[in-house]
Structure formats: structure tokens, C-alpha cells
């Protein structure tokens, strides 16, 4: 019985192994196929022969009909036109090094509305106008080389634009997007873009990600008019100025990151009226003032990062609020403290407990202590900040007072010893006593 089951499993495994290796010969075959293309493949393919040749020049296998779903690596999607179908969507992934785009091939692909490059390192070529204006979705992730703002700006009918990990040469984002009036989703991340965030956007924009660039200036107040915006990521730029007080107008916002900029001033209280917000990251800025208590009323919040800012006062969150969050970071705010009668010292927050006036119980002055202990405290903060885990921040507050106690104890015993020694000395009065 046992034997037959294992034999069956073995057979099953062998079968799977055979099935898994099956597709590769077809992939290999396509490298050779361009030479012997149109007659044979057009009989088996419903795709326009011109487009079949274009696919072959891009090393996309056409031995099986590219219009039959799912296509090879889901690279192609076709329309239903007759007698020939046409490509609507094309995705080039993990391209070989000798691939090059040609304007001729792109001209015959002007029926595409969606074009994606993924790990496909090719230099751009001129895109024919018919293709540029037909595209609704354009994506390049770790792919196109020598991208420029002017090149991208010609895709005027896009609803989705995503460029990530590719250098874009442009004096600012406005060069790229100012004529894209239908844009719903825009990602320009890790592209070395500098300049300001443009003020004018399609009011229907839902997704904006400009993270990891060199953008400067302030967050335009006009962004808060985007009532449909669900996702906003401006992290890791050089933005300054304050968060607009009207931020609460972004009623659809779910994920917000403004982290790692130089944004200053207070958190606008209106942020806590954004009822769908689940992710709020304002870490590593220069925000100050007190943290609005109303944030603790945000029921949907799962991720809250306020670390490495200049907030002061008593932290307004209680233990049950913190427990509900998947990630909570508050360390690196040296003038902020927590009420130790409402939050156990066991919850490691990375800030000190408060004294009775609501100010942090300060670490001991540097002069009384070996300097290393002060260094420990500050470097501890920064190490914790880099940590992605939740609630892992060490508690300076716990270390500070313990070290005071230790220091005082050592000091006191030294004094006691000295007194005993002096008393002994004076009693013996210069004579050699006891020992000799
Ligand atoms: C192709 O797309 C289908 C449906 O979206 C998906 O189930 C399948 O995993 C995809 N295949 C590949 C190789 O990406
Ligand atoms: C591309 O390469 C990556 C990593 O080498 C691999 O995980 C992925 O499956 C590949 N995708 C395709 C469509 O070949
Ligand atoms: C695409 O953009 C061009 C201008 O760039 C415009 O004339 C045309 O109407 C647009 N087409 C669609 C379908 O939106
Ligand atoms: C951005 O510019 C720096 C320095 O010029 C360069 O090292 C880096 O590769 C560029 N980033 C991208 C995504 O090209
Ligand atoms: C924002 O972008 C950064 C860098 O690209 C990324 O690490 C972070 O997870 C993003 N934040 C959100 C809320 O998606
Ligand atoms: C933004 O940076 C550019 C240089 O890249 C500089 O000329 C400009 O003054 C800066 N603007 C602001 C508002 O900081
Ligand atoms: C939004 O934030 C939540 C909570 O941190 C996270 O699970 C989710 O992946 C984020 N969504 C996007 C699109 O980054
Ligand atoms: C916050 O910082 C700004 C300067 O960036 C300063 O003008 C303001 O007084 C500070 N507010 C508080 C409450 O410390
Ligand atoms: C904790 O704070 C929340 C929100 O402010 C509040 O609803 C709840 O009653 C508080 N819980 C305790 C135990 O104080
Ligand atoms: C800490 O909480 C207790 C009990 O809620 C309260 O009486 C006390 O005033 C608070 N201390 C500070 C500094 O806010």
C-alpha cells in the first residue's frame, strides 16, 4: 500500500518535471525563428503579420499564437478585430542584452494601449506619434536608458505612468506630466528627478508616488484638492516647509508617506479626519509642536511612524491604541515623553518617561559619567530608527535613571571609603597602626 503511494508520487513528480521543462524548447526556437517567419506563422496565427514580425524582432516567441491566452509569460494581449487581431498590450521582461528597439518595429505596434518594460535594459529610440498618443499605460522598471522628460511628455493620453529605478533627465516633473490630462496613477520613483512638485493635476488622480528623488520646495496646497487621492508617497526627497493645514481634505487617502524630508512645523490636526488612513509615515523630518491627541481616534490606522522629529510634550497615545497598531515608531524625539502611569515601562518606545510637569526625565549630565554612557543613549536611538521591526525601540528612559542610581552608588561608596580612611588616618596619627 505504502509502496504504491510513493511510486505514484514519484510518477507524479516526474510528470511535473517533464511539464516544467516543456516550454523551454519553444523559447529557444524563437531565437532562430525570425528568418522563417511570415508564411508558416501567419497561417497558425490570427495576429496581424506585420505585428508578428515586430514581436519576433523583440525576441517574443510567436510559434504559438500570441493572441491565445495566457500567452508566453503573459507578454501579449490582443483585441478581437477580424480578419487580423491586433496587439493591445505588450510586456517585455528580462530582455537579452542584444535586444534593441527599432522605430520600424514600434511603428507597426501603434495599436498598443499598454507597454511595459521590466528589467529590460535598452536605450530609448524615437516613438512614432501614433504609438505615443495611443498609449494609456506606460511602465519602465529598471529598464529604459537615457529617458528624458521630453520623451515621456509625448505620451499625452496616459492614465498610468510608472518609471522606477531609471534615471530621467528633466528640469522637473512638470516637463513630463503637464500635458497628461487623464493621468490617474503616477509613479516616478528613484529617477533622480529634481525641482518642485507641480501644482496642477487631473482632479481624478488616485495614486502619486514621487519617492526617492531630489525634489525640493514645499508640498503644494493645491494637492489637497485631490479628493480621490488614495496613495501619496513623497518620501526620501528634499522637501521643506510645512504640511498644508488643509491636508484633511484628502478624504480618500489610505497610505501617506512624507518621511525622510526636511518638513517642519506642526502636524495639522485635520489629518485625523481622514477616516480611511491606514498608513501614516512622517518619520525623519523636522516636525515640531505637540502630536494632536485626535490621531488616537483614528480607528483604521495600522502603521504610524513619527520617529526622528522635534515633537515635544506628553505622548497622547495609550497602551490599547499602540497595541492595535502593526507598526508604531516614536523614538528620536528628545523633548517628548510618555506618561508612565498609563503606559508600562516594558513597552519600549525609545522616549523617556515624563516627570510630573510633563517633561522628559533627563539622562544624567555628561560630566558625572563616563562619556560612553551618553553615547550609548544617542546611538541607541539611531540604531533603533533603522530597524524595520515593530515596537523594537529601546527605552532610554529606563537606562537613564538606572545609570544615575549606579553612578550615585559608586560615588557614595567612594566617599564613605575616603571618610573611613581619613578617620583611621587621624586616629593613628601618623603612627603605623594595625598593619605593623
Ligand atoms: C498570466 O496571467 C494569468 C491571469 O492573470 C495568471 O494566472 C498567470 O499566473 C500568469 N502567468 C505568468 C507566467 O505570469
Ligand atoms: C525575470 O527574472 C526574474 C529574476 O531573475 C525572475 O524571477 C522572473 O520570473 C523572470 N520573469 C520572466 C517573465 O521571465
Ligand atoms: C490623444 O492625445 C491627442 C493629443 O496629444 C489628442 O488629439 C487625442 O484626441 C487623444 N486621444 C484620445 C483617444 O484621448
Ligand atoms: C542617480 O544619479 C547618481 C549620481 O549621478 C547615480 O549614481 C545613480 O545611478 C542615478 N540613479 C538612477 C536610478 O539612475
Ligand atoms: C514610499 O516609498 C519608499 C521608497 O520608494 C518605500 O520604501 C515606502 O515603502 C513607500 N511608502 C508607502 C506608504 O508606500
Ligand atoms: C531647489 O533646488 C534647486 C537646485 O537643484 C535650487 O536652485 C532651488 O533654489 C531650490 N529651491 C528651493 C525652494 O529650495
Ligand atoms: C498601505 O499600507 C498598508 C499598511 O501599512 C500596507 O499593508 C499596504 O501594503 C500599503 N499599500 C500600498 C499600496 O503600499
Ligand atoms: C516649530 O519650528 C518653527 C521653525 O521651523 C518655529 O517657528 C516654531 O516656533 C516651532 N514651534 C514650536 C511649537 O516649537
Ligand atoms: C485609549 O485611547 C482611546 C482613544 O483615545 C480611548 O478610546 C480608550 O478609551 C483609551 N483606553 C484606555 C484604557 O484609556
Ligand atoms: C499621567 O496620567 C495620570 C493618570 O491618568 C494623570 O493623573 C497625570 O496627570 C498624567 N501625567 C502627566 C504628566 O500628564
Express each pLDDT in 298-334 by its tens digit: 999 999 999 999 999 999 999 999 999 999 999 999 9
- Pairing status of strand 310-314 against strand 335-338: parallel
Mutation pick for ligand 7 pocket among 235, 277, 278 (CB with most ligand atoms within 8 Å): 278
How would you class 242 by CB atoms within 10 Å of its CB: exposed for 0-12, middle for 13-18, buried for 19 or more?
Answer: middle
pLDDT score of 358: 86
| pLDDT confidence band for 412 (50 / 70 / 90) | low
| Distance from the alpha carbon of residue 155 to the mean position of ligand 3, in angstroms | 10
pLDDT score of 425: 57
First to last CA, the chain: 93
Enumerate residues 6+ apart whose C-beta is below 8 A from 22.
Answer: none
Ligand (nearest to CA of 321): 9
Of the chain, the percentage scoring pLDDT greater than 90 comes to: 58
| Distance from the alpha carbon of residue 312 to the mean position of ligand 9, in angstroms | 21
* Residue 244 pLDDT exceeds 90: yes
Ligand (nearest to CA of 299): 9
Q: Which residue has the higher pLDDT, 415 or 222?
A: 222
Enumerate residues 6+ apart whose C-beta is below 8 A from 23.
Answer: 72
DSSP reduced 3-state for 176: helix
User: Model's pTM, two decimal places?
Assistant: 0.79
pLDDT score of 225: 97
Task: Give yes or no for a contact between 299 and 276, defined as CB atoms under 8 angstroms apart.
Answer: no
Report the pocket of ligand 5 as residue ranges, CB < 6 Å.
189, 211-212, 233, 235-236, 255, 257, 279, 281
Domain extents in the chain = 85-92+104-353
Measured from the CA of 327, which atom of ligand 7 is nearest?
A: 5
| Distance from the alpha carbon of residue 181 to the mean position of ligand 3, in angstroms | 10
pLDDT score of 115: 97
How would you class 121 by CB atoms within 10 Å of its CB: exposed for 0-12, middle for 13-18, buried for 19 or more?
Answer: middle
Ligand 9 contact, 296 CB (< 6 A): yes
Q: For domain 85-92+104-353, which architecture applies?
A: Alpha-Beta Horseshoe (3.80)
pLDDT score of 300: 96
Ligand 8 contact, 313 CB (< 6 A): no
Which residue owns the Cα nearest ligand 10 atom 6? 341
| pLDDT confidence band for 2 (50 / 70 / 90) | very low
Amino acid at each position: 500500500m505504502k509502496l504504491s503511494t510513493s511510486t505514484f508520487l514519484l510518477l507524479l513528480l516526474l510528470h511535473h518535471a517533464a511539464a516544467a521543462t516543456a516550454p523551454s524548447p519553444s523559447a529557444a526556437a524563437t531565437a532562430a525563428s525570425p528568418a522563417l517567419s511570415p508564411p508558416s506563422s501567419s497561417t497558425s496565427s490570427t495576429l496581424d503579420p506585420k505585428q508578428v514580425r515586430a514581436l519576433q524582432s523583440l525576441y517574443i516567441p510567436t510559434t504559438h499564437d500570441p493572441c491565445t491566452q495566457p500567452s508566453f509569460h503573459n507578454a501579449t494581449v490582443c483585441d478581437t478585430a477580424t480578419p487580423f487581431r491586433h496587439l493591445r498590450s505588450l510586456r517585455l521582461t528580462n530582455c537579452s542584452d542584444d535586444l534593441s528597439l527599432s522605430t520600424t518595429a514600434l511603428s507597426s505596434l501603434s495599436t498598443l494601449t499598454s507597454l511595459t518594460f521590466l528589467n529590460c535594459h535598452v536605450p530609448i529610440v524615437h516613438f512614432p506619434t501614433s504609438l505615443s498618443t495611443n498609449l494609456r499605460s506606460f511602465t519602465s522598471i529598471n529598464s529604459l536608458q537615457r529617458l528624458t522628460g521630453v520623451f515621456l511628455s509625448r505620451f499625452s493620453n496616459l492614465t498610468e505612468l510608472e518609471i522606477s529605478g531609471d534615471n530621467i533627465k528633466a528640469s522637473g516633473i512638470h516637463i513630463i506630466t503637464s500635458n497628461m490630462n487623464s493621468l490617474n496613477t503616477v509613479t516616478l520613483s528613484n529617477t533622480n528627478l529634481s525641482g518642485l512638485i507641480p501644482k496642477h493635476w487631473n482632479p481624478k488622480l488616485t495614486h502619486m508616488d514621487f519617492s526617492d528623488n531630489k525634489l525640493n520646495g514645499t508640498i503644494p496646497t493645491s494637492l489637497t484638492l485631490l479628493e480621490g487621492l488614495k496613495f501619496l508617497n513623497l518620501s526620501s526627497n528634499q522637501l521643506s516647509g510645512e504640511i498644508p493645514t488643509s491636508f484633511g481634505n484628502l478624504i480618500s487617502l489610505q497610505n501617506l508617506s512624507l518621511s525622510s524630508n526636511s518638513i517642519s512645523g506642526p502636524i495639522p490636526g485635520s489629518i485625523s479626519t481622514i477616516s480611511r488612513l491606514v498608513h501614516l509615515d512622517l518619520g525623519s523630518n523636522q516636525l515640531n509642536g505637540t502630536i494632536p491627541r485626535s490621531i488616537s481616534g483614528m480607528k483604521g490606522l495600522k502603521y504610524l511612524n513619527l520617529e526622528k522629529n522635534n515633537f515635544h510634550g506628553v505622548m497622547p497615545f495609550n497602551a490599547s491604541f499602540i497595541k492595535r497598531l502593526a507598526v508604531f515608531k516614536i523614538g528620536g524625539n528628545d523633548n517628548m515623553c510618555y506618561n508612565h502611569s498609563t503606559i508600562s515601562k516594558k513597552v519600549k518606545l525609545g522616549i523617556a518617561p515624563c516627570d510630573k510637569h510633563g517633561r522628559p526625565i533627563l539622562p544624567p549630565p555628561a560630566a558625572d559619567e563616563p562619556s560612553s554612557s551618553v553615547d550609548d543613549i544617542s546611538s541607541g536611538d539611531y540604531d533603533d530608527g533603522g530597524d524595520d521591526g515593530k515596537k523594537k525601540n529601546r527605552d532610554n528612559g529606563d537606562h537613564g535613571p538606572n545609570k544615575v542610581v549606579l553612578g550615585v552608588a559608586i560615588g557614595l561608596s567612594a566617599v564613605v571609603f575616603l571618610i573611613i580612611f581619613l578617620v583611621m588616618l587621624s586616629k593613628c596619627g601618623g603612627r603605623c597602626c594595625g598593619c605593623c
